[in-house]
Structure 1
Amino acid sequence: MCATTPPRPAPRVLVVDDHRKIRDPLAVYLRRHLFDVRTAEDAAGMWQLLRQQAFDVVVLDVMLPDGDGFELCSRLHRRENTPVILLTARDTSADRVRGLDIGADDYITKPFESRELVARINSVLRRRGPVPAQIEAKAADTKSAPTQHYAFADLSFMSSTGTLLRNDGSAVRLSTVESRLLSVLLSHPNTVLSRQRLIDLTARPGNEVYDRAIDRQISRLRRKLCDNPVEPELLRTIWGDGYMLAATVNVLDA
């Protein structure tokens, strides 16, 4: 008997719109066209769903009660690499150009016909290729990062285990987020990194990070580095710009 090819999973679509009379009928229509659809009424709901699973396309309203759609699109483009189709009532060329410049894959103006959105979703999926986003995300998560062993300021750090060794021989285990943050700082010694840059370099798909969270992680990392929190010598605050690891860093054989 010839082996049969298993059917491909339905493309996953996340519809984010605060108007229920738009969101719910659109979800029903997309399901009729064999899409696996989830919906959210605001940015908070969108991030919660993205933490739970990956999507092939996000259909995102520009005007949400708890977030600007253009900024959200930019974050999705940087951190999720998920295709985004913007929905908006504003039909100016400036808005369309802005949306495409920040990473939107397409732009559709309200009111629109549902069949037009289906055509645009299918067009985005064709451009993105045959591999569903959830498979790509899983592959990215399981890909192991290269192990690095750093020596700096009488300390050493092994990125694969998140272990910080002090010069007195004591070992300190860092959290996953602290390890990512320290690895980024060690990869950019004596370089001022803004909060936004640190967010971009440490965030993972589905995990939204904010400025205040970076500040808290910096404070915790300072304590584990035994750096004076009042006048830090190693992990310095550059007021108005960000943070800098002031040290000579050597990369050792792992």
Structure 2
Amino acid sequence: MHRTGETMPILIADDEEKIRQLVKMYLQKEGFAVAEAADGTTALEMLQQDRFDLLILDIMLPGMDGWEICRRVRAQSDLPIIMLTARDDEIDRVLGLEMGADDYVTKPFSPRELVARVKAVLRRARSQPNGQTTGDDTKLQFGPLLIDPDGRTATAHGQPLQLTPREFELLYYLASHPGRAFSREQLLQGVWGYDYYGDSRTVDTHVGRLRDKLEQYGLAGVIATVRGVGYKFEVTK
């Protein structure tokens, strides 16, 4: 599949044909080009052979499940991923977000709501964190911690931090406002986007994982908990 003009290609990986056709119909009405995969192995092959702007990924896929596909995709790219599941277990939602998914939708869902989420995720993917312009002046240095928004990398003592796209955005957003306390709702709006449908516990999950990675370099304390408010970035000495 090739791009035509501004058409953005999306891959739907779901073993239920009715769901694929319904989602495809709504996305095509909005001008998206849509490809389909009915199993995990086919989905991964299509992702390797062609370029897509977003992946709608069912967790319970035959051949290779959505968790494994998400893991493999995240190891190689920042392709936006929206995960689908028939279960509403919080652990599934948290695991999907921890693995790097950008959003999470539980079946049954409204096709219009899914399209809205697709548009929101794509808007966030096209914009740079915190609206900064490109150039060396956007790099943030705090002691041994260096954050480069253009390269979307963070290093500590010269060693790269292995962050998911959302963990990087969270770190950069907080570090862009050192000393300022943000509520969980403000972080959801600033990092995930104003039209994100998740709950505030998503922030706690990502902060916890980010701290674990920073702790390896003695930097877990740069993200401080502000009791009764949320979190803030503490400038290192």
User: What is the TM-score normalised by the length of structure 1?
Assistant: 0.47
Q: Which residue of 2 aligns with 1:92?
A: 89
| Structure 1 residue 130, shift from structure 2 partner | 5.6
Residue 9 (structure 1) aligns with: 6
Aligned to 1:33: 30
Q: Which amino acid aligns with 2:9?
A: R
Alignment RMSD: 1.7
Report what 1:188 is aligned to. Answer: none
**1:108 matched to which residue of 2?**
105
Per-residue CA deviations over 1:159-182 (Å, capped at 9, x if unaligned) read: xxxxxxxxxxxxxxxxxxxxxxxx
Alpha-carbon distance between aligned partners in 2 of 1:26 and 1:63, rounded to the nearest angstrom = 17
Preserved contact between residue 77 and residue 83 of structure 1 (Cα < 8 Å): no
Q: CA deviation at 1:52?
A: 2.6
d(CA) in 2 for partners of 1:39 and 1:66? 15
Map of 1:71 onto structure 2: 68
Task: Give the match's secondary structure for 1:80.
Answer: coil
Q: Once the 2 structures are TM-superposed, how far is the Cα of residue 48 of structure 1 from its aligned partner?
A: 2.3
Deviations 1:14-68 (A, max 9, x none): 0000011111221122111111110100112112222331111100000011112
Which residue of 46, 49, 71 maps to 2:46?
49
Check whether the contact 2:22–2:111 (CA below 8 A) recurs between aligned residues: no
Specify the structure having the higher radius of gyration (Cα): 1
Deviation digits for residues 181-234 of structure 1 (CA, Å, limit 9, x no counterpart):
xxxxxxxxxxxxxxxxxxxxxxxxxxxxxxxxxxxxxxxxxxxxxxxxxxxxxx
Percentage of matched positions with identical amino acids:
46
- Give the partner amino acid of 2:42: G
Give the whole-Å Cα distance in 1 for the aligned partners of 2:69 and 2:44.
10
Q: What amino acid maps onto 2:31 in structure 1?
A: L
C-alpha displacement of 1:8: 5.2
How far apart are the structure 2 equivalents of 1:52 and 1:71? 18
Q: Counterparts of 1:139-158 in structure 2 under 5 Å?
A: none
How far apart in 2 are the matches of 1:8 and 1:96?
A: 35
CA drift at 1:100 = 0.2
Relative contact order (alpha carbons < 8 A, sep ≥ 6): 1 or 2 greater?
A: 1
Task: Classify 1:43/1:63 alpha carbon distance in 2 versus 1 (closer, same or farther; 3 Å).
Answer: same
Q: 1:122: how far off?
A: 0.6
Q: Aligned pairs, how many?
A: 125
Q: How does 1:1-254 map to 2 (within 5 A)?
A: 9-129=6-126
Unaligned runs of 5+ in 1: 1-6, 132-254
Give ranges in structure 2 of 5+ residues lacking alignment.
129-237
Question: Quick check: 121-130 or 104-113, which moved more?
Answer: 121-130
Runs of 4+ residues deviating >3 angstroms: none
Task: Give the SS at the match of 2:105.
Answer: strand
Aligned partners of 2:35, 2:61: CA distance in 1, in Å? 17
**Alpha carbons 1:90, 1:109 under 8 Å: kept:** yes
